[in-house]
Copies of this chain bind each other. A is one copy, B any other.
Amino acid sequence: MIMNKDNIITIAQRAKQAGLKLGVANTDKKNTALKFMMGGLLDKKAIIMQANSIDVDNARKNGLSKAFIDRLTINEKTLKGMIDGINEVMTLKDPVGEITKAWTRPNGLLVGRMRIPIGVILIIYESRPNVTVDASALCIKSGNAVILKGGSEAINSNRAISSVLSEALKLAGLPSDAIQFIDSSDKEVLYELLKQDELIDLVIPRGGEALIKAVVQQSRIPVLKHYKGICHVFVDADADIDMAKLICFNAKVQRPGVCNAMETLLVHKDIARRFLPEMIDMYRKAGVEIRGCEKTREVVGDIKSATEEDWYTEYLDLILSVRIVDSVEQAIEHINHYGSHHTDSIVTNNVVHSMKFLKEVDSSTVLVNASTRFSDGFQLGLGAEIGISTSKLHAFGPMGLEELTAQKFVIIGNGQIRE
């Protein structure tokens, strides 16, 4: 089928129907489909790599960056990574059908809350073809139909992969329409889909801020997203200095290009002279550019001055802004004002301060004495991650299988009526 603005709605209708069937399938059947996906990716390895080589050639012709081409390329190792990912999802507990609470009312009604799938989920992503596999496995395991809209640069790879995944559903006796791929790079096609709030229940965009803003602007369907990760570490007056150095170095340097890397370091004035000079020396050796507030410059000299703009900036790079604050209160105020409600950490041995920070920092993940880099579905033990939400509706923070479910009320009585 050639997909255009006028017929794209049939994709959503099919997904809705498939979702109703998949939603009541038992765990064994869904795991069987995941097994067929793993087998299919192996069997069709040659076809997938051939399709991928077209995308890679096009990317080279279009002069895309080496980093971009690295993310796009499927080789033996990335394919194994995809298969291992499915295997991991298979071992996770199926959230559907779980009774999360139950209680009895004075009139004898037994009331419970049962996890159910959300329905149909539209995933919009950029170049990495592994998202096609990860997102599909998570949606299928949680009983949700998925519509995949990958980046145009990976369209040949994604077409090949999604056809394998969809076929695996059929082999397991599940509706193949529960995984569908939007085989079009026309923006109008996507925008038409984003209007189908009667058919699609949730949109998860994964990618840069521009992509996410465009999706939010066009969508009539609820969107779970995060724009930015402006993450902070606050080194309190009585922090363990060695621990603080390890955490601050890890949070900034271990992988600076990701959303849970630190962008701003806040330091209590009473520890600044003992902590900052050596810390900044470590950063300099690792090639980190420092931009400091006036007080920071008094302590360590010879660094760039941080502007108001810096405190709002997600560098995603080896750049760090540093501010000296007077108190834990001022640190919290800075974070809630300039931050992005993503991930923030305090290094302290003061119990009162640690509890205050945990309670008052208005972010989805708040840590004491640990690196911001742990804000991640795998690291926190969710088993997998479908995305991160920095708004508070439905989910806040890393989202795993449970966040792909809703809960309905199930009630058992023996003839109760309202007086």
Cα-based distance from A111 to B201 in the complex (angstroms): 29
Quick check: A367 and B105 within 8 Å, CB to CB? no
* Interface presence of A211 (CB below 8 A): no
Given A24-B360, A201-B391: A411 and B246 interface contact (C-beta under 8 Å):
no
**Residues of B close to A368: CB separation below 8 A:** 411-413
Residue pair A118, B392 in contact (C-beta under 8 Å): yes
Contacts of A406 in B (CB 8 A): 392-393, 396
Contact between A367 and B247 (Cβ–Cβ < 8 Å)? no
A366 B408 Cβ-Cβ under 8 A? yes
> Which residues of chain B come closer than 8 Å to A374, judged between CB atoms?
109, 411, 413, 416, 418
Q: Compute how far the CA of A367 lies from the CA of B255 in the bound complex, rounded to whole angstroms.
A: 51
Copies in the complex: 2
Instruction: State how many angstroms separate the Cβ of A115 from the closest Cβ of chain B.
Output: 10
- Whether the pair A415, B240 counts as a contact (CB closer than 8 A) is yes
- Flag whether A63 is at the interface (Cβ < 8 A): no
Minimal beta-carbon separation of A382 from chain B (angstroms): 9
Bound-complex Cα distance A232 to B412 (A): 16
Q: Which of A198-220 contact B (CB under 8 A)?
A: 201-202
In the complex, the answer to whether A416 meets B24 with C-beta atoms within 8 Å is no
A85-124 CB mask vs B (1 if < 8 Å, else 0) is 0000000000001000001010001010010101100000
Q: Which residues of B contact A222 (CB under 8 A)?
A: 222, 391, 393
Which single residue of chain B is at the shortest CB-CB distance from A392?
A: B406
Report yes or no: B409 in contact with A366, Cβ–Cβ below 8 A: yes
In Å, the complex CA distance between A247 and B409 comes to 18
> With A375-B409, A408-B363, A409-B366 in contact, is A394–B396 under 8 Å at CB?
no
Would A392 and B119 be within 8 Å (CB), given that A222-B222, A381-B105 are in contact?
A: yes
Do A408 and B364 touch (CB < 8 A)? yes
Given known pairs A368-B413, A370-B411, the reply for A393 and B246 (CB within 8 Å) is no
Q: Let me know if A381 and B201 touch, CB within 8 A.
A: no
Cβ A370 vs Cβ B246 within 8 A: no
* Nearest residue, chain B, Cβ from A371: B417
- Asked if A397 is at the interface of the complex by the 8 Å CB criterion, the answer is yes
> Across the interface, which residues of B come within 8 angstroms of A367, CB to CB?
410-413
Is A256 an interface residue, CB under 8 A from the partner?
no
- State in angstroms the CA–CA spacing of A202 and B396 once bound together: 14
Q: Is A359 in the interface zone, CB < 8 Å from B?
A: yes
Q: Cβ of A397: which chain B residues have Cβ within 8 Å of it?
A: 408-409
Partner of A111, one of B114, B250, B381: B381
The reply to whether the CB of A398 lies closer than 8 angstroms to some CB of chain B is: yes
Partner of A413, one of B370, B407, B413: B370
Tell me whether A307 is interfacial, beta carbon within 8 Å. no
**B379 and A418: CB pair below 8 A?**
yes
Q: CB of A358 within 8 A of chain B?
A: yes
In the bound complex, what is the Cα–Cα distance between A367 and B392 (angstroms)? 30
A373 on interface, CB distance cutoff 8 Å: yes
* 19 additional contacts (CB under 8 A) given A240-B415, A398-B409: A109-B370, A109-B374, A109-B380, A116-B392, A243-B415, A250-B418, A251-B417, A364-B409, A365-B409, A366-B408, A366-B411, A369-B416, A370-B412, A373-B417, A374-B413, A375-B409, A392-B406, A396-B408, A397-B409
A interface, CB within 8 angstroms of B:
20, 23-24, 97, 103, 105, 109, 111, 114, 116, 118-119, 201-202, 222, 240, 243, 246-247, 249-251, 254-255, 336, 354, 358-360, 362-371, 373-375, 379-381, 391-394, 396-398, 406-418
> Can you list the 4 inter-chain pairs with the closest CB atoms, starting with the nearest?
A370-B413, A392-B406, A250-B417, A373-B418
